Amino acid sequence: MSKIPVYFMPGLAANPLIFERIRLDDARFDVHYLEWEIPKPKETLEDYAERIALYVKHKNPILIGVSFGGILVQEMARFLEVQKIIIISSVKSKSEFPKRIRFVRKTLAYKLIPIRLILSFGKLAQFVFGEKMSHRMQLYDTFLSVRDLYYLKWAVEKVILWDREEIDKRVIHIHGDKDEMFPIQNIKKCIVVEGGTHVMIYVKYRWFNANLPAILLDTNNLCYN
């Protein structure tokens, strides 16, 4: 039996270390990790997704993305033949954004976000993960490796302005019921992880190690909300 190619994409500004606790059977899965690159001047999200999709070297892979990485893999799937798309702590369309994101989109307030200020590590971590950081600074310092000012400004804008309306039917959505960045009240049809926060891919690794293989293999019986 040939292995199933699985490509992981981390969240905004994060590196693949966010997945270091996830264990998949080497006999069944061929795992690869994608990384963020600095966008080209005036590069659209669509063009960026097409460029990152070039790193996917296998036919019919499974794409897994966390947070903004979940948005990106949905856009990458426009340029690839994929088995399925799994998004974690993310959104499937702009209708799942919380009111605060819809507000800054409508008012263009995102243009006033002090990107230089959030480069201060604590603020960057809180902005990206949507959680209180006081007891986890070293942990997040390991994860947040992309601190280029242009990238951050570009990424924040692309999240806020993401305009997908029709949900891709290939998407499987895994979401925590304690996610502060994308509250579950706005999320439609997802696999719910009890106690899962926006960074549950790391702190709830036992849940993922127990359930993700079945989800990948289509043998799961998990309930959707």
Measured CA distances, 23 to 48, 108, 123, 161, 180 (Å): 29, 41, 30, 34, 26
**Distance from chain centroid for Cα 149:** 20
Count how many Cα atoms sit within 13 Å of the Cα of residue 172 in the half-sphere of its side chain: 20
Q: Name the pLDDT band for 114 (thresholds 50, 70, 90).
A: low
What the block records as the tokens of 82 is 């994929």
Amino acid letter, residue 21: R
CA dihedral 126, 131, 133, 138 (to 10 degrees): -80
Angle at 53 between CA 48 and CA 57, to 5 degrees: 160
pLDDT tens readout for residues 122-165: 555 555 555 554 455 555 566 777 878 899 889 988 998 999 99
Measured CA distances, 175 to 38, 46, 47, 151, 157 (Å): 28, 24, 27, 26, 23
Distance CA 203, CA 175 (A): 13
pLDDT tens readout for residues 34-44: 999 999 999 99
Amino acid letter, residue 86: I
Distance CA 42, CA 51 (A): 14
Residue 172 scores a pLDDT above 70: yes
* Cα radius of gyration (the chain): 17
Average of pLDDT values for 75-97? Answer: 97
- The reported pLDDT for the residue numbered 149 is 85
Q: Name the pLDDT band for 180 (thresholds 50, 70, 90).
A: confident
Count how many Cα atoms sit within 13 Å of the Cα of residue 38 in the half-sphere of its side chain: 5
Sheet order of strands, 4-9 included = 29-33, 4-9, 62-66, 84-88, 171-176, 191-193
Of the two residues 12 and 175, the one the predictor is more confident about is 175
Distance CA 85, CA 73 (A): 7
What the block records as the tokens of 201 is 């891919």
- Going by DSSP bridges, is the β-strand pair 171-176/191-193 parallel, antiparallel, or unpaired? parallel
The full DSSP string for 36-60 is: --PPPTT--HHHHHHHHHTT--SSS
pTM: 0.88
